Amino acid sequence: MSDRRDILEGKVALVTGASQGIGRACALALAEAGASVALAARSPEKLAAVRTEIERNSGKALALSMDVAEAASVKSAVDGMIAAWGKIDILVNNAGVTRDNLLLRMKPEDWEVVLKTNLEGAYHCIQKVLPFMVRQRYGRIINIASVVAQAGNAGQANYIASKAGLIGLTKAVAAEVGSRSITVNAVSPGFIDTAMTEKLSEAVKQKILSVIPLGHIGTDRDVACAVRFLASDEAGYITGHCLNVNGGMYMA
């Protein structure tokens, strides 16, 4: 990715769930492209490691403790970022959790934590950063959805409701803020090799692999490259779009 260092020079980005997996890869990709990146998640130690990684490669990073499910926590983290860098150009809503079970057995708390983190968290972050983007008449918001929001899947009603909601939220906000040159898009990953998918059984992994035309599991970098593109000026006429990064496992 190092040959694209300049495309985000001078831009300021906030990535939620940046302590590991896809969020970490997005943060590294944005920093390599020249953006200053605020890293947000609940685990300060992991964030510190990602910050060090970015700084070792001459990038600029800030670690922010943030629980996206809590509006007050989002507010204080965004305030901290604005105090440090004075603006925000790019928001990547990536923080997400799963609590899988069949709907008949799903506990209310498992429904609630997934919706509060994956969907309401994006609402809090977007609402908090939008005034800055509107004022500067520029912004890039990228929401990380999921292939299962498009294709459906048994045992993930809470997760799928949250991610389908995120795709709807993407389109609604895109329509509201387009006149301010703010684009809002979703990236919809398929089966990506991270801690989230590590816990799946070998049988489930093989079943998923059998329906991926490209024949292999995706990487966090595959997703990060799509995010970096949507964050760039080159993607300025794309909004309200859901970009699949799924190896062909769902085509729409």
Q: Tell me if 115 sits within 8 A of 98, measured CB to CB.
A: no
Neighbours of 193 (CB within 10 A): 15
Interatomic CA distance for residues 141 and 127, integer angstroms: 11
The nearer residue to ligand NAP, 71 or 106, going by C-beta atoms, is 71
- Which conformational region is residue 202 in: left (phi greater than 0), alpha (psi within -120 to 50 degrees), or beta? alpha
HSE (side-chain half, CA atoms, 13 Å) at 117: 21
Angle in degrees, CA 174, 134, 173, rounded to 5: 20
Neighbours of 152 (CB within 10 A): 12
Residue type, 191: F
* Helix (H) / strand (E) containing 14: strand 12-16
Shortest Cβ 31–ligand NAP spacing (Å):
16
Shortest Cβ 47–ligand NAP spacing (Å):
7
Known active-site residue 159: yes
The nearer residue to ligand NAP, 98 or 239, going by C-beta atoms, is 98
Site residues for ligand NAP per CB under 6 A: 16-17, 19-23, 41-43, 46, 66-69, 94-97, 117, 144, 146, 189, 191-192, 194-197
Question: What DSSP designation does 75 have?
Answer: H
Shortest Cβ 103–ligand NAP spacing (Å):
18
Return the percent helix, strand and coil in the chain, to nearest 5: 55, 15, 30
Closest CA relative to residue 163, chosen from 108, 109, 206, 100:
100
Q: Which residues are catalytic?
A: 159
